[in-house]
Amino acid sequence: MFRKLLKYDMKEVGMVMLPLYAAMLVLAAAAGLSMRFSIMKGTRDFVASTVPGVVTLILMLVYGALILGMAVMTLVMTTRNFRDNLLGSRGYLMNTLPVTTQSQVLSKSLNGLIWIALGGAASAVSGTIALLFIMRKQDWAEFFQTMNEMFGDRMSPWMMLLQLVILFVLGALQIVTKIFVSISVGNLWRSKRGLGAVLMFVGLTVLQTLIGNRLTHLTPDASISYSLMGNGISMVFGLNGGEAGLFTARQMGFAAGQDIVYIVLFLIGTIWVLRNKMDLQ
């Protein structure tokens, strides 16, 4: 039953997201080709008021807006998938299926995670497509040389990627489950349920920040914790100890551990509220 639930959840979100991914890939290729054309024409400064330059600029702007829109839509669609199917009018169907509340909540959570991961993958693939059009062989060689000078033998780029993926996955799941528990608790209000959900989300975020600060006082290893963006930025820009490098096992343990604890708590909270306090209006 869980697989069937996930199948329908993915279909629902996919109807909106897949065309967006396709548009991103097409635009990335078009922007890359346009920039390549500008470069071949000798207009490396593509902001210059030449026609190819302006077209390239517009394509790049639209592509950037599309990536931003895709990120926002991923969050909107996974949130709507949860709210509309379990607490909206469709809840009259979904909550009367012969499946457990756990299956429902886990299916929605996994669905959110999958679409966040697919969004990340689509962004990476489209960016690579654009670069393949823009960069020549010697540009790639220069790029890899620079990367090598930056990281040297201090760290493996694959290890860094693995750490980033782990933190990204856990961070994304933590945000998705926090949204779900906030909506569920907000639904307990007789009216203004949306406001209730927002207040719950803000309250949880403040609480997490306080806990994070407390942990940082206890051990500096906790200082990279609980912020997905913070983790990625500090790693890529070398803010981890002043230079680019891998997180230590203890740092990873603190960051991942906190996320896992929050995910479990948010899931338990959501399931408990839906099972014991369900109030479908």
Partner 1 sequence: MEELKKEMDTIQQPAFECRKLTMRYGKTLALDAVDLTLMPGRIVGLLGPNGSGKTTMIKLANGLLQPTSGEILIAGSAPGPESKSLVAYLPDRDFLPPYMNVTQLLEFYSDFFADFDRERAEKLLDSLGFEPKQKLKAMSKGTKEKIQLVLTMSRRAKIYLLDEPIAGVDPAARDFIIRTIIGNYAEDALVVISTHLIADIETVLDEVVFLKKGHIVLHKQSDEVIAENGKDIDHVFREVFAC
Interaction site with partner 1 (CB under 8 A): 1, 4, 8, 12, 15, 89-93, 95-100, 190, 276-280
- Distance between first and last Cα of the chain: 26
Residue 95 C-beta: closest distance to partner 1, Å: 6
Closer to partner 1 by Cβ: residue 13 or 204: 13
Residue 93 C-beta: closest distance to partner 1, Å: 5
Closer to partner 1 by Cβ: residue 8 or 237: 8
Residue 81 C-beta: closest distance to partner 1, Å: 11
Distances in Å between the alpha carbon of 170 and those of 175, 221, 233, 240? 9, 18, 16, 20
Residue 92 C-beta: closest distance to partner 1, Å: 4
Q: Are 112 and 176 in contact (CB under 8 A)?
A: yes
DSSP notation for 117-144: HHHHHHHHHHHHHHHHHH--HHHHHHHH
d(CA 267, CA 181): 7
Token representation of residue 195: 């406001």
